[in-house]
Amino acid sequence: MLTLWGLPLTAADASAADSPFHFGFKKSRNGQPASIDQEGFKDILARHGAVFTGDKNEKVLYLTFDNGYENGYTPPILDVLKEKKVPAAFFVTGHYVNDQQELLKRMVREGHIIGNHSWSHPDMTQVPDGKIREELARVKQRVAEITGQREMKYLRPPRGIFSDRTLGVSKAEGYTNVFWSIAYMDWDTKKQKGADYAYRSVTAQLHPGAVILLHSVSRDNAEALGRIIDEARRQGYEFKSLDDLKIGS
């Protein structure tokens, strides 16, 4: 018998539970909160304790990076974060874990969080529960072996693709799925548009409680990061760790 969370399911129920969603949101403008009200998955995120923003009444920002591979820009990003005293979370894949062990050690040494981005970056909705658990366990174990970070609480679903089932499986493994409420198309290294473009794209979307997603492969992000931080602070924002984000807010 098919089950979900211990309850019996029909085949139709099971199919609905694994209907894939691609995370998207209505961007913030003029400091107003970003929104997922029209995306069709708000209730699913809430049910599994997934987050895409923090408290909309607090001028706090949460800075996160996705690290699938290294393009030479994570060291200068870490330099800026150290200089500005800003905490961040880096979501890493198996490739990154194997290839950039010294950078992982530096992240932990300088007080940042390493989160899980899966071992091989699959579409989680296309793999069985056991494979999801394996993907997550391999990253957690190797990061612990390399850095000593024993706890791994945060997951960013690969490609931003998820379903009711995948959120449930990862939650059962102890993860909070962290999406985002500020982002722009920064991951294509062949379509970089300059630091000014990155600066404008991010600062135009600033809003209370925002979770900022940046890709560390972007030259534009590395070059604009210091200015982004300075402008956010000029507007009265404070940067905090994901550990300070109130789940369910």
Average pLDDT for 125-154 = 97
In this predicted model, what pLDDT tens digit does every residue of 33-42 receive, in sequence order? 999 999 999 9
The distance from CA 93 to its chain's CA centroid, rounded to whole angstroms, is 12
The closest alpha carbon to 87, from 236, 242, 197, belongs to: 242
Establish whether 215 is a catalytic residue: yes
What per-residue confidence (pLDDT) applies to 246?
Answer: 76
133: buried, middle or exposed (CB in 10 Å: 19+, 13-18, 0-12)? middle
Which member of 48, 66, 164, 186 is catalytic? Answer: 66
- Condensed to tens digits (0 to 9), the pLDDT of residues 175-204 reads 999 999 999 999 999 999 999 999 999 999
Residues of the chain above pLDDT 90, percent: 91
Calpha distance 144→53 (Å, rounded): 27
- Cα 162 from Cα 176, distance rounded (Å): 13
What pLDDT score does 18 carry? 79
Strand 88-92, strand 113-116: pairing = parallel
CA-CA-CA-CA dihedral for 166, 168, 171, 177, to nearest 10: 50
9-18, 98-107, 148-157, 166-175: least confidently modelled range: 9-18
User: What are the angstrom distances between the C-alpha of 130 and each of 24, 45, 135, 164?
Assistant: 27, 21, 9, 16
The per-residue pLDDT for 11 is: 45
Active-site choice (48, 117, 207, 215): 215
- Check residue 12 and give its pLDDT: 44
| Of 12-16, 21-25, 117-121, minimum mean pLDDT range | 12-16
